[in-house]
Amino acid sequence: METPFTEPASYANFIQDIITEDLKMKKNEGRVHTRFPPEPNGYLHIGHAKSICLNFGIADRNRGLCNLRFDDTNPSKEEVEYVDSIKEDVRWLGYDWDDRLFYASDYFEELYRFAVQLIRDGKAYVCDLTPEEIRDYRGTLTRPGKESPCRSRSVEDNLKLFEKMRAGELPDGACVLRAKIDMTSPNLNMRDPVLYRIQKSSHHRTGDRWCIYPMYDYAHPISDALEGITHSICTLEFEDHRPLYDWVLDNIDIKYHPRQIEFARLNLTYTVMSKRKLRELVEKQFVSGWDDPRMPTISGLRRRGYTPGALRDFCDRIGVAKANSVVDIAMLEHCIREELNLGAPRVMAVLRPLRLIIDNYPEGLVEELDADINPEQPDLGKRKVPFSRVLYIERDDFMEDPPKKFFRLAPGREVRLKHAYIIKCERVVKDQETGEVLEVHCTYDPDTRSGLSTDVRKVKGTLHWVSAEQAIKAQVRLYEHLFTRENPEEDREGAHFTDFINPQSLEVLTDCLLEPGVAGALPGSRFQFLRHGYFIVDTVESKEGSTVFNRIVSLKDSWARLRQKA
Ligand code: ATP
Ligand code: MG
């Protein structure tokens, strides 16, 4: 049966083109099999999300399979905690590897046997040069390499030495196994690259069984081939390694030969995107952990309030390119805003409260006013919001001595209270010593209740508010970019990326007041706080009786504005 290979335009990219062509040519018996191969040396970040969406997405769209494979060939930096977090993050993004969970360390025995084969065929040798000498002998782009004196070792000697390496009879760094390729190759990766090194450290899965570990460039192609991968998708920095990828597979006896395809990695403004740097932020406590809501990790974005759908949508929209570029972080924010505009119930929340008393409103009266749950979805109906004589409004929404363009509350001025009445400011009560405004006293016009037929008068400003007696208290955390520079990684004389951490990236507000309908909201629930943005009940620090909200994003959409201008 012929499979139709027409893709929706949004899926079109050069990798899909290659796969479509391969399917037409009946390459790989018509199979499509990809893999996502993280090294378990840190938590996944949004860049990895792009690779996950690409690999699992391509498999889905082409009736193929995608494996999850831990590239755990470097025992010193890897931990079980990272393995667990990576699995959780991939699943949370909405992808499933079924029974195809693999570890490069599962292949150590086979990798060893293939190395023995290379030695037997005269294509690998044990080299005693020190790491410094190896580097020096390798040459540079303009200077050809020099052959190691060990290059002419006999096959027998090489086999014996390699066995000794494996048996732990030689100390760390005593020698390495190298491929015998070409010391004059214009590609430095082909100048007798190292395949194995001695490292006497425990591995999180193989324990102390091995004291030699394969290098990535050797283990990766073989792991791919053993799993029958058809398209090995990786980032651009591996382009120069592709000849080595192919050399390894061409020189051993193995059934499959996957095709390596490189794409541009994702970079985001105001963000660092390497596990090493993210780990530094965690270890030096610039952030509270890998899941700090300011981190670009998947766990950080999840805690911040991003949804899997918004991240997948973002990865779709940025597309797949062959040249590196930097994506505006505003685009990521746009994706979650768009989703939550449709999905998040509306709430009034006063983050910095100022007491407001309506002097002519009956004492003890509580009216239950109607408000839309979400005006974008009228079918959801209304919620009730209590209104009474003592309210709180936002401190910023009142000015005693306002400039001309200030349309909010000021002495003698009128504003509308959202879903309620028009009020007029009559006087203020101040702290005798500091002069700080403690209370605003107003009168209300009973004929102006929202939705009533008598409600015809218009005023310029509309304020949100909560009723003092019924409001619930909460802590709210506001976030800004973690870095003050668009490109914190850019090399500047003597500067380190942590020099550009934004001291204002976290603001904690402890006395916020919310309308009572939010009481008991479960961790992970998302809301729009009118005029403030989208918020999520923190999943880590919210406790019974003390709710913590994280601001996901404000309402201001700089990305949408940019696009309108364009
Ligand atoms: P980092 O430099 O952040 O430590 P890495 O490439 O070393 O990342 P791996 O665990 O080796 O991390 O990555 C697993 C997969 O994710 C690889 O295929 C890698 O190419 C891909 N990947 C890593 N970072 C990005 C990124 N910023 N954009 C797209 N893909 C990425
Ligand atoms: Mg890596």
Cα–Cα nearest to 356, from 392, 385, 386, 387: 392
Q: Whose CA is nearest to atom 2 of ligand 1?
A: 274
Do the Cβ atoms of 103 and 110 come closer than 8 Å?
no
Question: Which residue type is seen at 458?
Answer: K
pLDDT, greater one: 154 or 9: 154
3-class DSSP string for 277-345: HHHHHHHCCCCCCCCCCCCCEHHHHHHHCCCHHHHHHHHHHHCCCCCCEEECHHHHHHHHHHHHHHHCC
Neighbours of ion ligand 2 (CB under 5 A): 39
Distance CA 40, CA 473 (A): 41
Pairing between β-strand 194-198 and β-strand 65-70 as defined by DSSP bridges: unpaired
Q: Model confidence at 1, in pLDDT bands (50, 70, 90)?
A: very low
DSSP string of 508-564, one letter each residue: EEEEEEE-GGGTTPPTT-EEEETTTEEEEE-TTT-BTTBEEEEEEE-S--HHHHHHH
Q: Residue 143: what are its φ and ψ, rounded to 5°? A: -120, 125
Distance CA 545, CA 550 (A): 16
Cα–Cα nearest to 531, from 439, 465, 450: 465
Judged against a pLDDT cut of 50, whether residue 6 lies above it is answered with no
Ligand 1 environment, Cβ below 6 A: 37-39, 47-48, 50-51, 234-235, 265-266, 273-275
Position 82 scores a pLDDT of: 95
For the ranges 299-313, 378-392, 438-452, 491-505, the lowest mean pLDDT is seen at: 491-505
Run of H or E residues at 442: strand 437-445
Position 305 scores a pLDDT of: 98
Q: Whose CA is nearest to atom 16 of ligand 1?
A: 48
Pairing between β-strand 101-103 and β-strand 65-70 as defined by DSSP bridges: parallel
Q: From ligand 1's centre to the CA of 38, what distance in Å?
A: 7
Ligand 1 pocket, mutate which of 48, 53, 261 (most atoms under 8 A from CB): 48
pLDDT tens digits for 225-235?
Answer: 999 999 999 99
Judged against a pLDDT cut of 60, whether residue 331 lies above it is answered with yes
Residues 485-516 as b or e (16 or more Cβ within 10 Å = b)? bebbeeeeeeeebeebbbeebbeeeeebbbbb
pLDDT tens digits for 255-272?
Answer: 999 999 999 999 999 999
Position 76 scores a pLDDT of: 78
Distance CA 503, CA 15 (A): 41
DSSP string of 198-219, one letter each residue: E----BTTTBTS-SEEE-HHHH
Position 4 scores a pLDDT of: 39
Question: Which residue type is seen at 260?
Answer: Q
% residues pLDDT > 70 (the chain): 97
Atom of ligand 1 nearest to the CA of 55: 18
Atom of ligand 1 nearest to the CA of 38: 10
Helix (H, G, I), strand (E, B) or coil at 105: helix
Position 7 scores a pLDDT of: 42
CA separation, residue 506 to residues 44, 292, 551 (Å) = 22, 10, 10
Helix (H, G, I), strand (E, B) or coil at 67: strand
pLDDT, greater one: 6 or 422: 422
For the ranges 40-54, 512-526, 548-562, the lowest mean pLDDT is seen at: 548-562
Distance CA 115, CA 158 (A): 11
Task: Kindly identify the ligand whose nearest atom is closest to the C-alpha of 42.
Answer: 1
CA separation, residue 445 to residues 102, 427, 449 (Å) = 70, 16, 8
Judged against a pLDDT cut of 70, whether residue 497 lies above it is answered with yes
pLDDT tens digits for 84-108?
Answer: 999 999 999 999 999 999 999 999 9
Residues involved in catalysis: 39, 265, 275
Position 2 scores a pLDDT of: 38
Q: Model confidence at 494, in pLDDT bands (50, 70, 90)?
A: confident
Q: From ligand 1's centre to the CA of 318, what distance in Å?
A: 16
Q: Whose CA is nearest to atom 22 of ligand 1?
A: 48
Do the Cβ atoms of 3 and 19 come closer than 8 Å?
no
Q: Whose CA is nearest to atom 8 of ligand 1?
A: 274
3-state helix, strand, coil in the chain (%, to 5): 35, 25, 40
pLDDT tens digits for 459-479?
Answer: 999 999 999 999 999 999 999
Position 11 scores a pLDDT of: 65
Atom of ligand 1 nearest to the CA of 273: 3
Task: Kindly identify the ligand whose nearest atom is closest to the C-alpha of 43.
Answer: 1
Task: Kindly identify the ligand whose nearest atom is closest to the C-alpha of 55.
Answer: 1
Q: Model confidence at 452, in pLDDT bands (50, 70, 90)?
A: confident
pLDDT tens digits for 513-536?
Answer: 999 999 999 999 999 999 999 999
Do the Cβ atoms of 471 and 354 come closer than 8 Å?
no
Atom of ligand 1 nearest to the CA of 276: 4
Position 143 scores a pLDDT of: 92
Q: Whose CA is nearest to atom 3 of ligand 1?
A: 274
Q: Residue 67: what are its φ and ψ, rounded to 5°? A: -95, 150
pLDDT, greater one: 543 or 126: 126
Mean pLDDT over 80-85 rounds to 94
Q: Model confidence at 8, in pLDDT bands (50, 70, 90)?
A: very low
Mean pLDDT over 309-335 rounds to 94
Distance CA 407, CA 397 (A): 9
What lies within 8 Å, CB to CB, of 118 at 6+ separation is: 124, 179, 195, 251, 252
3-class DSSP string for 134-191: HHHHHCCCCCCCCCCHHHHCCHHHHHHHHHHHHHCCCCCCCCEEEECCCCCCCCHHHC
Token pair in block for residue 19: 């796969």
What lies within 8 Å, CB to CB, of 169 at 6+ separation is: none
